[in-house]
Amino acid sequence: MSVAETHRAIDAVWRMESAKVIAGLARIVRDVGVAEELAQDALVAALEQWPQSGVPDNPGAWLTAAAKHRAIDYFRRNSMLDRKHEEIGREIDLQQRSTAADFDAAIDDDIGDDLLRLIFTACHPVLSPEGRVALTLRLLGGLTTDEVARAFLIPEATVAQRIVRAKRTLAEAKVPFEIPRGIDRAARLSSVLEVIYLIFNEGYSATEGEDWLRPALCEEALRLGRVLAELAPEEAEVHGLVALMEIQASRSNARVGPSGEPILLLEQDRARWDRLLIGRGVAALARAERRGGARGPYTLQASIAACHARARTPEETDWPRIVALYGELARVAPSPVIELNRAVAVSMASGPKAALAIIDPLLTDASLRNYHLLPSVRGLLRRLGRLDEARTEFERAASLTRNSRERQLLLDRAQDCGANPSARRPD
């Protein structure tokens, strides 16, 4: 195997195994930042040794063993080994075993719980949303700082600063490396789900740049969601989020044209939707609903996505049901953005006038002042023949978006408003 091939293998192993290694270390050292540094040291050792010795038969176990040795060295350097022996002995009753055996047992114990602890720690509400996203992709996704920066089209130095600040904040706040219980768990779980969905949404509809989609981010969010569903199988909203992401991801191939231009929902070739992902999403939705109780926001959004997935054509879509689901969603998680989405469904079920009755009061909402989708949706004025007003709305929407593909789409819509009405495309 060439050096380049070995490095590619190391990269693949790191993405698959790094979260487990970091999680195991973090439970021992009680500091996410230190755990990542020790895991990185193991990665450096692999980069140095594997090109000469070859990739081990069990590379994940090799990285874990290398990380354990570095953890032992860390405690020795900090004169903490005796105290850590006592702590580990109380936890796993292995006081009579050797140093290496203590660390082996401590790190290997219950990897599932360790990963869950790491997810809850990386997504702790004490961190800023930007810090949570960056730290989650770094610790759980195995992405480099440069990869995170390129994914979000921001300077690498900015991402590095966010990650350093996030780790420092966790240490200073003495955030425990644990799975929260009761009310605390419910509050923290919402933060975890929010971070994963933020990552997915940035991949599904990029906020800026030249590309409409960033599939790698969608795939990473789906992977994190699936891992979380295995680790917390009784949490309905975890399955709801996975269902939502699976169904939305099923449309990816149909969402862009040959030149990368966006294709909106009603204009997509539904034969290109991925039926396997739809099936997985519907199954996850069923798991969420089987948990019982009131449906949460992710489960409700997954139900809306399932309505679209079940319709073979836009005309067959059950728009009244979607309107009802948005009404329920607005009661569970009220927000002006949800109202705007409800207005779109109302426009399809009851016409543009009924939708405008919902949209126009949102024009005074400060949180939507620079939200490009508000004037974009208000462009449905063209269905009432108010072409000049619709063109103005599309042009304003184009001026607000930072994604060049979306900007061109909106400018095309504005131009359509000056064309022959019979040639206009549907909203």
Tell me which H or E stretch contains 293: none
Residue whose entry in the numeric block shows the structure tokens 């049901």: 321
Residues paired with 209 in a beta bridge: 403
Residue whose entry in the numeric block shows the structure tokens 């405690």: 75
> What is residue 421's predicted lDDT score, i.e. its pLDDT?
42
The pLDDT > 70 percentage for the chain reads: 89
> What is residue 358's predicted lDDT score, i.e. its pLDDT?
97
Contact between residue 123 and residue 180 where contact means Cβ atoms under 8 Å apart: no
Confidence of residue 148 (pLDDT cuts 50, 70, 90): confident
Q: In this model, does residue 153 exceed pLDDT 90?
A: no
Confidence of residue 372 (pLDDT cuts 50, 70, 90): very high
CB neighbourhood size of 350 (10 A)? 14
Of the candidates 210, 240, 213, which has an alpha carbon nearest to the alpha carbon of residue 225?
Answer: 240
For 360, how many CA atoms within 13 A lie in the half-sphere containing its CB? Answer: 7
Query: Which tens digits make up the pLDDT trace of 257-290?
Result: 998 899 999 999 999 999 999 999 999 999 999 9
Boundaries of every domain in the chain: 180-317, 370-427
> What is residue 80's predicted lDDT score, i.e. its pLDDT?
56
69-73, 282-286, 392-396: least confidently modelled range: 69-73
The per-residue DSSP string of 131-149 comes to HHHHHHHHHTT---HHHHH
Q: In this model, does residue 29 exceed pLDDT 70?
A: yes
> What is residue 324's predicted lDDT score, i.e. its pLDDT?
98
78-82, 102-106, 332-336, 343-347: least confidently modelled range: 102-106
79 compared with 311, residue with greater pLDDT: 311
Residue whose entry in the numeric block shows the structure tokens 């809850």: 120
Length of the chain in terms of residues written: 427
**One-letter amino acid for residue 108 of the chain:** D
Query: Which tens digits make up the pLDDT trace of 77-112?
Result: 775 555 655 665 555 444 334 444 445 554 444 446
Query: Cα angle at 298 between 297 and 304, to 5 degrees?
Result: 90
> What is residue 79's predicted lDDT score, i.e. its pLDDT?
59
Query: Which tens digits make up the pLDDT trace of 191-207?
Result: 899 999 989 998 898 88
68 compared with 165, residue with greater pLDDT: 165
Query: Which tens digits make up the pLDDT trace of 353-370?
Result: 999 999 999 999 999 989
φ and ψ at residue 56, rounded to 5 degrees = -60, 160
Tell me which H or E stretch contains 233: none
Query: Which tens digits make up the pLDDT trace of 203-259?
Result: 898 887 788 888 888 998 999 999 999 988 999 999 999 999 999 999 999 999 998
Contact between residue 87 and residue 58 where contact means Cβ atoms under 8 Å apart: no
pLDDT mean over 306-316? 95
147 φ/ψ sector (left φ>0, alpha ψ -120 to 50, else beta): alpha
At 274 the three-state DSSP class reads coil
Q: In this model, does residue 162 exceed pLDDT 80?
A: yes
CB neighbourhood size of 83 (10 A)? 11
Tell me which H or E stretch contains 109: none
> What is residue 97's predicted lDDT score, i.e. its pLDDT?
46
> What is residue 64's predicted lDDT score, i.e. its pLDDT?
85
pLDDT mean over 305-319? 95
The CA-atom distances, in angstroms, between 188 and each of 121, 134, 162, 227 are 9, 17, 20, 17
Three-class DSSP labels, 360-397:
HHHHHCHHHCCCCHHHHHHHHHHHHCCHHHHHHHHHHH
CA 182 to chain centre: 24
Q: In this model, does residue 187 exceed pLDDT 60?
A: yes
Q: Return mean pLDDT, the chain.
A: 87
> What is residue 82's predicted lDDT score, i.e. its pLDDT?
57
Query: Which tens digits make up the pLDDT trace of 3-16?
Result: 888 888 888 888 88
- Cα separation, 424 vs 427, in Å, equals 9
> What is residue 363's predicted lDDT score, i.e. its pLDDT?
95
At 208 the three-state DSSP class reads strand
φ and ψ at residue 351, rounded to 5 degrees = 100, 165
Q: In this model, does residue 331 exceed pLDDT 70?
A: yes
Q: Under 8 Å CB-to-CB from 389, ≥6 apart: which residues? A: 381
Tell me which H or E stretch contains 403: strand 402-403
The pLDDT > 90 percentage for the chain reads: 55
- Cα separation, 374 vs 397, in Å, equals 8
> What is residue 9's predicted lDDT score, i.e. its pLDDT?
86
